[in-house]
């Protein structure tokens, strides 16, 4: 392990060094499985773009009462070497060249970071719209870097959305997918990526289906899993 750094009081940035002569082959938007001492796997989206193949970046939220995530942080604190398996999921930058509409809830921002960085590394020209929904300003742990990235790359539009405005907040409030749909009422030309909790992603999927978005446009690991389980 390279480093374990707090981003907020409950979210950690994990940097894993890939062993020399080992290639971490994955697509932006995919996830890995971190193996625990009991052999179980814990799934985490990869925040780094595959072009940065020397390391793997994770953002892990561990709050009191969520033993599984807390166990992972403890494991990372006490081990110099950890075992991961990858890749998992169908995430990748579509070859269509169509603009990207990225809807993230909380640490669902993680795969979006990888997609954005990979698109920039490939020098693509497509527009990227990121709507990142969180509860409070404190949860916008990558806010400043995103502002700088959007300033340097005008094709990236970054819109942070708070579910309830903090004192002094002058930005958007509400739900990120609702704001995105209001801003882009015709979503037929987009590749749409959604990441967050299973409840959040399912709600966005149903809402966007009602708005005419077809399954070929919609990219989400949770939705893929629900389809495989016959729950959609």
**What distance in Å separates the CA atoms of residue 186 and residue 204, rounded to the nearest whole number?**
16
Cα 60 off chain centre by:
11
Tokens of 142: 């990558």
Q: What is the pLDDT of residue 24?
A: 84
Average of per-residue pLDDT across 150-169? 94
CATH (residue range 100-228): 3.40.50.80
Question: Whose structure tokens read 């958007």?
Answer: 172
Q: What is the pLDDT of residue 43?
A: 95
Q: With cut-offs at 50, 70 and 90, classify the pLDDT of residue 173.
A: very high
CATH (residue range 3-88): 2.40.30.10
More confident residue, 228 or 56: 56
Rounded to 5 degrees, what are φ and ψ at 57?
Answer: -110, 135
Q: Is the model's pLDDT at 20 over the cut of 90?
A: no
Q: Is the model's pLDDT at 36 over the cut of 90?
A: yes
Q: With cut-offs at 50, 70 and 90, classify the pLDDT of residue 165.
A: confident
Give residue limits of the domains in the chain. Answer: 3-88, 100-228
Residue pLDDT, tens place only, 42-100: 999 999 999 977 899 999 999 877 778 889 999 998 888 899 999 999 999 999 999 99
Q: What is the pLDDT of residue 52?
A: 78
Contact 129, 153 (CB under 8 A): no
Residue pLDDT, tens place only, 100-132: 999 999 999 999 999 999 999 999 999 999 999
**What distance in Å separates the CA atoms of residue 227 and residue 229, rounded to the nearest whole number?**
5
How long is the chain?
232
- CB burial string 178-203: b at 16+ within 10 A, e below: ebbbeebeebeebbbbbbbeeebbbb
Tokens of 81: 């070497």
Sign of CA dihedral 183, 186, 192, 197: positive
Q: What is the pLDDT of residue 1?
A: 60
Same fold for the domain at 3-88 and the one at 100-228? Answer: no
Contact 223, 202 (CB under 8 A): yes
What is the overall mean pLDDT for the chain?
Answer: 94
């Amino acid at each position: 392990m390279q480093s374990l750094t707090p981003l907020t009081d409950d979210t950690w940035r994990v940097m894993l060094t890939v062993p020399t002569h080992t290639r971490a082959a994955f697509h932006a938007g995919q996830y890995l499985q971190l193996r625990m001492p009991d052999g179980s796997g814990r799934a985490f989206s990869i925040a780094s773009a595959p072009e940065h193949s020397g390391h793997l970046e994770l953002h892990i939220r561990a709050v009191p009462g969520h033993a599984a995530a807390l166990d992972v942080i403890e494991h990372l604190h006490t081990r110099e070497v950890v075992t991961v398996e990858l890749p998992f999921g169908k995430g990748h930058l579509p070859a269509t060249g169509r603009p990207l509409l990225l809807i993230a809830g909380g640490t669902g921002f993680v795969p979006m970071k990888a997609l954005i960085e990979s698109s920039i590394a490939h020098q693509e020209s497509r527009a990227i719209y990121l709507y990142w929904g969180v509860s409070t300003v404190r949860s916008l742990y990558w806010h400043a870097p995103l502002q700088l990235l959007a300033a340097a790359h005008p094709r990236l539009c970054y819109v942070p959305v708070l579910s309830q405005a903090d004192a002094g907040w002058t930005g958007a409030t509400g739900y990120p997918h609702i704001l995105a749909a209001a801003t882009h009422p015709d979503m037929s030309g987009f590749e749409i990526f959604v990441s967050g909790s299973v409840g959040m992603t399912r709600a966005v999927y149903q809402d966007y289906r009602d708005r005419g978005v077809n399954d070929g446009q919609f990219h989400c690991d949770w939705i893929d899993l629900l389809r495989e389980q016959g729950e959609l």
